[in-house]
A = this chain, B = another copy of it.
Amino acid sequence: MKINHNYLNLKESYLFSLIAKKVNDYKQQNPEKNVIRLGIGDVTLPLVPAVLGAMHNAVSEMGSPHTFKGYGEEQGYSFLRQAVCDYYARKGVMLDKSEVFISDGAKSDLGNILDIFDADNTVIIPDPVYPVYVDTNIMAGRKIIFINGSVENNFLPLPDEKTKGDIVYICSPNNPTGAVYTKEQLKIWVDWALERQAVILFDSAYEAYIRDENLPTSVYQIPGAEKCAIEFCSFSKTAGFTGTRCGYTVIPQALVRTNVPLNKLWLRRQTTKFNGVPYIVQRGAEAVFTEIGFLQVKEQIRYYLENACIMADTLNELGIWFTGGKNSPYIWLKCPNNMSSWEFFDFLLNRCSVVGTPGAGFGDNGEGFFRLTAFGNKGNVVEAMERIRKVLI
């Protein structure tokens, strides 16, 4: 029996284990210090009442033979797919229910979607990047080309006439940089993909954080994207579903390659290798789109964005270059005084008892940068910024 030898080419990531070790060591040596974590990529606010109510109801339904639900459609219940369509309609994007697939999260589908593509494709991935894009392609042995994010392009790389590839990942608002493509910039990617018959894998997991009405919250707001893009979204950061697990993937019927609709391939993949998301969870997700549910999750997002705003204000005051923070829960900053990512990590930890994430963990171009996240408690964010201001001003 031969193992998938591509797995042996994966690099072990020691990013988060090294962070944990350094923080633990620091805490042991400084037990009196109140360490504030601005590095976590997980939400902290509980599920909103509308979602909780819907899930309690659904659990009760599962207890009666008249309302019990067994196997559902692998692609998700019609009620939730319709709610997603209605949400997109409010963005000016008209979808058919058959174009929406309910998933257990964007991460799963971003990995599993690769099943429908040949291993012999060249993949374009921005650097810095969410590491899952890279690892899932290494696992399949695909050729990867990195496209550079930098201060010069505000970490929003664009293709030029030399950019060649078959599949490209775009995450906007971006993790880790918080940068958001404009419609004009996204159009450059869409036109590029249309010309080359490439496919854009568009990760819109943070779209709900966009407050600027001129910025696109879906790739399908760009004409022609329905012929070249698959969009992945999630309730994780929109509604605090990181431990509840639900997302959705959109594959337009118009997206056809070598005469095969990719929607049909993905449906076949899902009906064969997936059995759908729990009924209880789908009912919870549906509640996110109700009038009251939507107001409740918007309030949580407002809370996180206020944290981002507090951090952004401090960085502006200190004259530190950064992206994100306005339409994103992430802030990506240039380490002051030309410190490396890990030097700044140690500096923040030792001088301020504040923990963030070294940018070097997200790719070569992340060296010298640093990620802060807005998912913490407001009081802690204020306190952390006060400490940072004191040592850097």
Contact = CB atoms under 8 A, between A and B. Distances in A.
**A1, A10, A44, A279 — which one has the most chain B CB atoms within 10 A of its CB?**
A1
21 contacts: A1-B257, A3-B257, A3-B260, A4-B116, A5-B118, A7-B260, A8-B260, A43-B70, A44-B70, A72-B243, A107-B274, A108-B273, A108-B274, A108-B275, A112-B112, A136-B272, A139-B269, A245-B275, A245-B276, A245-B277, A281-B281
A107 B273 CA distance: 6
Contact of A166 (B1, B117, B243, B273): B1
A278 interface: yes
Contacts of A276: 243, 245
B268 A7 contact: yes
A309 to B, nearest CB: 21
Interface of A: 1-5, 7-8, 10, 42-47, 49, 52, 55-56, 59-60, 62-65, 68-72, 104-105, 107-108, 111-112, 115-118, 120-121, 132, 135-136, 139, 166-167, 197-199, 240, 242-245, 257-258, 260, 262, 265, 268-269, 272-281
- Give this chain's copy count: 2
Nearest to A269: B139
B7 A116 contact: yes
The 3 closest A-B pairs by CB, nearest first: A111-B273, A2-B118, A42-B70
Contacts of A258: 2-3
Given A1-B121, A118-B3, A262-B3, A275 B105 contact: yes
Contacts of A274: 104, 107-108, 111
A59 B70 contact: no
B43 A116 contact: no
Nearest to A109: B273
A244 B279 contact: yes
Given A1-B117, A118-B3, A275 B46 contact: no
Contacts of A277: 245
A17 to B, nearest CB: 12
Nearest to A193: B1
B5 A272 contact: no
A1 B69 CA distance: 39
Contacts of A70: 42-44, 240, 242-243
A111 B62 contact: no
A280 B244 contact: yes
A369 B180 CA distance: 59
Contact of A59 (B2, B4, B56): B56
B72 A46 contact: no
Contacts of A197: 1
A224 to B, nearest CB: 16
Given A44-B68, A104-B275, A260-B8, A243 B62 contact: yes
A260 B8 CA distance: 9
Nearest to A277: B245
Contact of A3 (B117, B135, B275): B117
Nearest to A55: B59
Contacts of A46: 62-65, 68
Contacts of A242: 70-71, 275
A100 to B, nearest CB: 19
A4 B265 contact: yes
**A70, A71, A72 — which one has the most chain B CB atoms within 10 A of its CB?**
A70
A52 B55 CA distance: 12
